[in-house]
Amino acid sequence: MHNAILASGYIVLVASLMFFGSRFAGGPDTVLVPIAMLSLFVLSAAVMGYLFLLQPALMYLDGEKKEAIHLFAKTLATFAVITAILFAILFLLATPAAA
């Protein structure tokens, strides 16, 4: 559960930087933009892999197979709930009020 919350926090940080950073960025459109985006993608994949897989993998290798699978499933389920809540909020904000 802790790792899912950290993953959500990382996503909030990156998305906020992208959202608010784009308001201040008015520089030239260069090849650096796709390089930066691909670098961010790779960094994000590494951070998510670390948060979701490292601890369960270490537990699994230490012989704690059931506990490792349970931790991974719990982390994934917690992240799924957080994601569902975000989509529900987006849906509620996008739905026009009934007149």
Q: Which two tokens stand for residue 11?
A: 């996503």
pLDDT at 35: 83
pLDDT at 32: 80
Q: Where are the domains of the chain?
A: 2-94
pLDDT at 62: 97
**Would you write out the chain's pLDDT as a tens digit for each of its 99 residues?**
788 999 999 999 888 888 887 777 666 778 887 788 889 999 999 999 999 999 999 999 999 999 999 999 999 999 999 999 999 999 998 877 655
pLDDT at 69: 96
Q: What is the pTM of this model?
A: 0.75
In terms of phi and psi (left: phi > 0; alpha: psi -120 to 50; beta: otherwise), the region of 95 is beta
